[in-house]
Amino acid sequence: AFKRKKQQRRPPSPPGLPIIGNLHQLGELPHQSLWKLSKEYGPVMFLKLGSIPTVVLSSSETAKQALKIHDLHCCSRPSLAGPRELSYNYLDIAFAPYDDYWKEVKKLCVQEVFSPKRVHTMQPIRDEEVKKLIDIVTKSAQEKTPVNLSEKFLSLTVGVICRAAFGVSFHETVLNSDRFDKFINEAFLFLGSFSASDFFPNGGWIVDRLTGLQGRRERSVRDLDAFYEQMFDLHREEKEKGSEDFVDLLLRFQKEESVLGYGKLTRNHVKAILMNVLIGGIGTSAITMTWAMTELMRSPRAMKKVQSEIRNQIGNKSMITLDDIEQLHYLKMVVKETWRLHPPAPLIVPREVMSEFEINGYQIQPKTRLYVNVWAIGRDPDTWKDPDMFLPERFIDNNIDPKGQSFELLPFGAGRRLCPAIYMGTSMVEFGLANMLFHFDWKLPEDMEVEDIDMEESPGLNVSKKNELLLVPVKYVYN
Ligand code: HEM
């Protein structure tokens, strides 16, 4: 007997070219190009990126179908060249394929590394680092000179993550913070940049060699490796020091020969997991704070409202606590609204389909690469009234939250691959912003008007504000 071939219903697709397929349509900012294409081809769109069949989802409804109903069919990750090298062959959490190792290491990290308890034990470090920032900004306020907030928010998160997770202060090591920024930027680039071998698995590596991408990638991996090794050494030397940080914790698991999935946890596993902390934790929070300040500068009304809320709550206290933050409802809405318009990972992290499923009657085949365009979802006029307006109040009467349950707002993704550090990331962002908004009023540099603030985005896995945000602080005095 025959098996009748099931009728193939492939999602609509923009016309492509031979060999490269739709690759040339991605442009510099793929999430924006894909958003425009989705207006014509719909919320389930098929593209051929080089030789890779790819599906892009661009509405909350289709995102829900994939990330909730069919999550188990599509929660693996594609093999990508940059991530492979940075993760010691997928020994990390973010880029590991869906298997027993990933399940166990993610569970372990959710319980031990990213837990609310750890977020609370990090608070003294956050306090100290934010105090340093306040001092620097206060100096600028006295001199009436602008502060580069993009840079300051980055050094705040670098400071906190490095001390809290790695137990080292970067200024005190051979890796001074200048080089550290460079590391992070290079590593980011390799995680996000579209490299030829990711689209042409059979010959793309040749292009990557010719363009020098491969060489730079190898150098970046070497630099980071040296950094991890140095960190491990430092940990051995300073053993008697206080509480256990992430590195101590992971090295302890390694020493105890903990078995995860298919084997024992090795030094390379620890490095790969630390890479996720480094790259997942630093840019995303800094980017969010920068966009939030940018949007608030464009909306003096929202700025005034959020500052009064914070100042009423804090009064004449000198320190803002995590408990205070819980009372700052408008600030929380400002952050949500920032994530709606500026999700730090606009296409989240690509997934790979493991087994066939259907969305809106279209068949999605195994091995398809799947992107969810959360940037497009945040601007969808069917979901959001006046999507271009920055209106934190839109969150008053609904219970849309960013934790992966509301498919209209997915800055942390959803489903099994959900970001494990939502609480840590959110606390960092809210805490940093609350302090900058409490202690200072902010003015645009001379000869700049509100209309001159630009909203251009820079390319990469994490999309940040392209041009740095420069603002003049004015110290707030409680009376
Ligand atoms: C504002 C802050 C943050 C944002 C917006 C963010 C966003 C995301 C997104 C969109 C994903 C992919 C989810 C998916 O594929 O469905 C992700 C995954 C991940 N994030 Fe975050 N993140 C943030 C903070 C952090 C921090 C602070 C850490 C670590 C300290 C972290 C570690 C990770 C890891 C390990 C994964 C991989 C999860 C997996 O594949 O199973 N993130 N994050």
Q: What is the 3-state secondary structure (H, E, C) of 217-232?
A: HHHHHHHHHHHHHHHH
| Spatial separation of the C-alpha atoms in residues 75 and 300, rounded to whole Å | 42
Amino acid at 431: F
- Ligand 1 atom nearest 417 alpha carbon: 41
Confidence at residue 1, expressed as pLDDT on a 0 to 100 scale: 46
Domains and CATH numbers, the chain: 23-475 (1.10.630.10)
Q: Which 3 state secondary structure label does DSSP give 383?
A: coil
Output the six-digit token pair for 106: 């993610």
| Per-residue model confidence (pLDDT) at position 269 | 93
Q: pLDDT of the chain along its 479 residues, tens only?
A: 455 555 669 999 999 999 889 988 988 899 999 999 999 999 999 999 999 999 999 999 999 999 999 999 999 999 988 888 889 999 999 999 999 999 999 998 899 888 999 889 889 999 999 999 999 999 999 999 999 999 999 889 988 988 888 877 766 554 555 666 666 666 665 565 567 788 877 777 777 777 777 888 888 888 888 888 888 888 776 655 567 788 888 888 888 887 887 788 899 999 999 988 888 888 899 999 999 999 999 999 999 999 999 999 999 998 999 999 999 999 999 999 999 999 999 999 999 999 999 999 999 999 999 999 999 999 999 999 999 999 999 999 889 999 999 999 999 999 999 999 999 999 999 999 999 999 999 999 998 999 999 999 987 667 788 899 999 999 998 87
Q: Is 412 in the pocket of ligand 1 (CB under 6 A)?
A: yes
What lies within 8 Å, CB to CB, of 367 at 6+ separation is 53, 352, 353
The residue nearest atom 31 of ligand 1, judged by CA position, is 280
Distances (CA, A) of 401 to 96, 219, 242, 365, 414: 27, 40, 36, 31, 12
Instruction: Measure 360 CA to ligand 1 centroid, in angstroms.
Output: 28
Q: Which two tokens stand for residue 166?
A: 């790695």
Atom of ligand 1 nearest to the CA of 372: 16
* Any atom of ligand 1 within 6 Å of the Cβ of 285: yes
Pairing type for strands 369-372 and 52-57 reads parallel
Q: State the maximum Cα–Cα separation within the chain, in Å, rounded to a whole number.
A: 87
Q: What is the CA radius of gyration of the chain?
A: 23
Which residue's CA lies nearest to atom 21 of ligand 1? 419
Question: Which H or E element spans position 47?
Answer: strand 44-49
Is the ipTM higher than 0.90? The answer is: yes
- Cα-flanking dihedrals φ and ψ of residue 413, to 5°? 75, -160
User: Could you tell me if the CB of 134 is within 6 A of ligand 1?
Assistant: no
- The span from the CA of 148 to the CA of 361, in Å, is 49
Give the H/E segment covering residue 53.
Answer: strand 52-57
User: Which of 150, 478, 127, 80 lies closest to 292, judged by CA?
Assistant: 150
Query: For residue 121, how far is the Cα from the chain centroid?
Result: 22
Beta strands in 158-220 (DSSP E): none
Ligand 1, atom 37: closest residue by C-alpha:
94
Q: Which residues contact 359 (CB under 8 A, 6 or more apart)?
A: 11, 44, 57, 62, 65, 66, 70
Q: Determine whether the shortest distance from the Cβ of 119 to ligand 1 is under 6 A.
A: no
Among 162, 412, 461, the mutation site with the greatest number of ligand 1 atoms within 8 A of its Cβ is: 412
> Could you give the CA distance from residue 307 to residue 163 in angstroms, rounded to a whole number?
29
Residue 130 Cβ < 6 Å to ligand 1: no
Q: Where are the alpha helices (DSSP H) in 65-115?
A: 81-86, 100-108
Amino acid (one-letter) located at 434: A
Contact residues for 57 (Cβ-Cβ < 8 A; gap 6+): 43, 44, 45, 63, 66, 359, 370, 371, 372, 373
- Ligand 1 close to Cβ of residue 37 (< 6 A): no
SS3 state at 308: helix
b/e 352-379 (16+ beta carbons within 10 angstroms → b): bbbeebebeebebeeebbbbbbbbbbbb
Structure tokens at 120: 């609370």
Provide the pairing of β-strand 470-475 with 351-352: unpaired
Please tell me the distance between residue 411's alpha carbon and the centre of ligand 1 in angstroms. 9
Closest residue by CA, ligand 1 atom 41: 417
373 lines ligand 1 (CB under 6 A): no
CA of 412 to the centre of ligand 1 (A): 6
Q: What angle do CA 311, 303, 392 make, to 5 degrees?
A: 105
Burial class of residue 80, CB neighbours in 10 A (0-12, 13-18, 19+):
buried
Distance between Cα 406 and ligand 1 center (Å): 17
